[in-house]
Amino acid sequence: MWIEQRSVHGKVRYCFIERYKSSLTGHYRRVSVTYGKKTPQVVKAATRELEEKIQKALAEEGHTIRKTTMQELETRYLEEYEKQVRYNTYHVGKLFLDEFVKACGPDTQPRNITTVWLNRYFNDQLYRKDRPLTNGTVRAKKGKVALLFDYAVSYGFLKDNPMDKVRITWKDESARRRDEIENKYLTMDEYHKIINDCIDRNLYHYVDAFKLQFLTGMRFGELSALQVNDVIEENGKTYIRIDGTMLFKKNPARHIISDTTKTFAGLRTIVLSPEATEIVKRRMKGKDKDALLFAYNQLANTYDKQRPLNVNTANQVLKRVAARQKIDKEVTTHYFRHTHVSVLADMNVPLRVIQRRVGHANGDLTVKIYMHVTKKTQEDFENRIGEIDQY
């Protein structure tokens, strides 16, 4: 390293310069940093910064590995990832990666993460005694971690992605899946118990919200984001335009309505039944056109004064309701959406129509619920089996 003294706008500046040999061309190249002083501390800092620049340049040529920690790698990656995906997708990915980095150690070097360690990490999550995860959840986590290491390879922090050789011993979940479908939606008796429990406790904002979910198949975030101007009346019918979802962000704490739904297929306009129409019109009454249909402070009639319904709070309410009513299911707001699908299936509505209505282009669970024979349908079939003799 050598130092050149220069004058910049009448001030003395010290340019610290170092050379390195390019692995691509074989020629020498220069890197430099400039400081206003030349103290021993500055020289030390300049030497370190020049070394980092050289390591970065050589890593970008693919012939060396840049030094970093798992924590630093995650931070770099998430800055890029946040620009590429919707907020909810980013939020879930960050939760998965935060957990992963904590498990392997924030100060661990990425190059020290082995395929053997990764295999053990994912298999432990599948088979641990305390709340083991499903195949689907572990697959999702595996995908996020693989993307993190892909980024590390692309930017010279690793030579190869250790996830490429990860082999997970997946569980046999056939029995759980059969049981899961029937327990992913409500019977009509369970539905009415929940609604009546909310009425008894004067939770009328939840009564209307849960009813509208059941009657439309909307996601709770979509329902929370509904505004007065999303209601359309044409040819004697009432429709709801669904084109956003409610998001709650931190730092600072705030809520916003996204300009798109969870998926592209979620952008849709659906017709309302008479009861759903009555709920919507009641919720519109006396409100500005941009006001929310649902809010905790029900008397507020402008968006800026409203506190929108929160899915996490609603799920906690449902957990307590289910316990009181002895409903042996882990009921969440999504159950009303699934129940809507099961009722439309019982009504013999074509699958493609149901998928369009609930905003699922390729909804795996929607298909499974549709194909699952409910008890009511089975009973109807058994009562009519004698009709086959007449053909």
Please give the pLDDT value at position 26: 74
**Bridge pairing between strands 246-249 and 28-35:** unpaired
Q: Flag whether pLDDT at 296 surpasses 90.
A: yes
Confidence of residue 161 (pLDDT cuts 50, 70, 90): very high
Please give the pLDDT value at position 180: 64
Query: Which of 122, 140, 171 is the last residue in one of the domains?
Result: 171
Q: Flag whether pLDDT at 33 surpasses 70.
A: yes
Range of the domain at 101: 70-171
Q: Are residues 232 and 100 in the same domain?
A: no
Q: Are residues 54 and 78 in the same domain?
A: no
- What pTM did the predictor assign? 0.65
Q: Are residues 211 and 289 in the same domain?
A: yes
Q: Are residues 141 and 47 in the same domain?
A: no
Residue 119 lies in a domain: yes
pLDDT tens digit sequence for 62-90 = 655 678 899 999 999 999 999 888 887 88
pLDDT tens digit sequence for 309-340 = 999 999 999 999 999 999 999 999 999 999 99
Confidence of residue 346 (pLDDT cuts 50, 70, 90): confident
Confidence of residue 391 (pLDDT cuts 50, 70, 90): confident
Q: Cβ atoms within 10 A of the Cβ of 4, count?
A: 11
Q: For the ranges 13-22, 64-73, 252-261, which has the lowest average pLDDT?
A: 252-261
Residues of the chain above pLDDT 70, percent: 91
Q: Are residues 260 and 364 in the same domain?
A: yes
∠ CA 264-270-276 to the nearest 5 degrees?
135
Mean pLDDT for 37-63 is: 83
| Whole-number Å distance between alpha carbons of 266 and 279 | 22
Total domains in the chain come to 3
Residue 182 lies in a domain: no
Scanning the structure block, which residue is given the tokens 């409100």? 287
Q: Are residues 271 and 157 in the same domain?
A: no
